[in-house]
Structure 1
Amino acid sequence: MPETEVRTARPAELETVAALRWRWVAEQDGPPDLDRDEFVREFVAWTRENAATHHCLVLTQDDEVAGMAFLVVTARVPTPRKFRRASGDLQCVYVVPEARGRGLGGLLIDAILRLGAELGLERVTVHSSTRAVPAYRRHGFAADPELLQARPPA
């Protein structure tokens, strides 16, 4: 059985994370229009530029990156009771197809929620595909009638 670990992505792993993101989009929608190498370069630069608000975790098996997830932290408006407030959004949970079906995505979800607790977040939200909703529910996510969303007009 492979040794599995979930941890913060190391700088040297960001190209692998970018390649996972590329692979995921290609799986869902077919090959992207942007050149893969160009995407990897741009993604790595973007990830470094946004590291203060976009926390990247990786799942490794035998020291090979097999999955990723991001926790995006957003500052919230202070209140008289609590000046420093923040919430999080779980994004880009992905496990390579050959490692799926073993609960690895759940390990990433749980690690993101622990990180959110460490950061003192008020809540963590997720926008999920229909297929992944049961996984998020198993790890404590639930619909909230007070959390609404709207798409800006085109």
Structure 2
Amino acid sequence: MDDDLVCRPVRPEELPAVAELRWRWVQELYGTPEIPLGDFVPRFVAWAREAEATHHCLVLVRGRRPVGMSWLAVTERVPFPGAYERSSGDVQCTYVVPEERDRGLGGVLVDAVLERAAGLGVERVTVHSSERAVPAYARRGFAGSPHLLQVDLRPGRAR
């Protein structure tokens, strides 16, 4: 990693830039979102502030500009005898701007998220990955599980 690139928890004043990263990612994948960037940013920042206890954002910063992000969503799990405080995590929204890609920076973010999860005592971490990123997650110990199932409840999705 470059000397002028730092991976660390997001600072509150960086949340608008992180919102722009999220908007840019959606634009890259699906085309320009219907909601304008100027409307999205304050709503995203408000959400991030309200969710900070359960959603931990790590950023890659070059100089003073965030160029990548990854989120760890932590969910409490049902206790069982001998283990009352349990949680699981989910890696979400790992994104690096195109001009910074193909140098292992997404992996730097994922490593930082896993370190954060371990520090929080999270039992297991999942991820819903793009096909392109599967090898990067696999190199960090992620593997498929025949016991982890999902159903898509969004309107218009077949069940």
TM over 0.5: yes
How far is the alpha carbon of 1:139 from its aligned partner? 1.5
Gaps of 5+ in 1: none
1:141 aligns with 2:137: no
Give the corresponding residue for 1:76.
Answer: 77
Give the corresponding residue for 2:109.
Answer: 108
Identify if the C-alpha distance between structure 1 residues 78 and 24 changes in structure 2 by more than 3 Å, giving closer, same or farther: same
Q: Is the 8 A contact 1:2 1:62 kept in 2?
A: no
Percent identical: 56
Q: Is the 8 A contact 1:69 1:90 kept in 2?
A: yes
User: How do residues 1-154 of structure 1 correspond to structure 2 at under 5 angstroms?
Assistant: 1-152=2-153
CA RMSD in angstroms, aligned pairs only: 1.3
Cα distance per residue 1:75-127 (max 9 Å; x no partner): 00000120000000000000000000110000000000000000000000000
Q: TM-score, normalised by structure 1?
A: 0.96
Gaps of 5+ in 2: none
How far is the alpha carbon of 1:46 from its aligned partner? 0.4
In the alignment, the residues of structure 2 paired with residue 148 and residue 97 of structure 1 have an alpha-carbon distance, to the nearest angstrom, of 31
Q: Is the 8 A contact 1:70 1:90 kept in 2?
A: yes
Cα distance per residue 1:16-74 (max 9 Å; x no partner): 00000000000011100001111001000000011100001101123321100100000
Q: Is the 8 A contact 1:68 1:108 kept in 2?
A: yes
How far is the alpha carbon of 1:150 from its aligned partner? 2.1
In the alignment, the residues of structure 2 paired with residue 71 and residue 30 of structure 1 have an alpha-carbon distance, to the nearest angstrom, of 26
Q: Is the 8 A contact 1:8 1:55 kept in 2?
A: yes
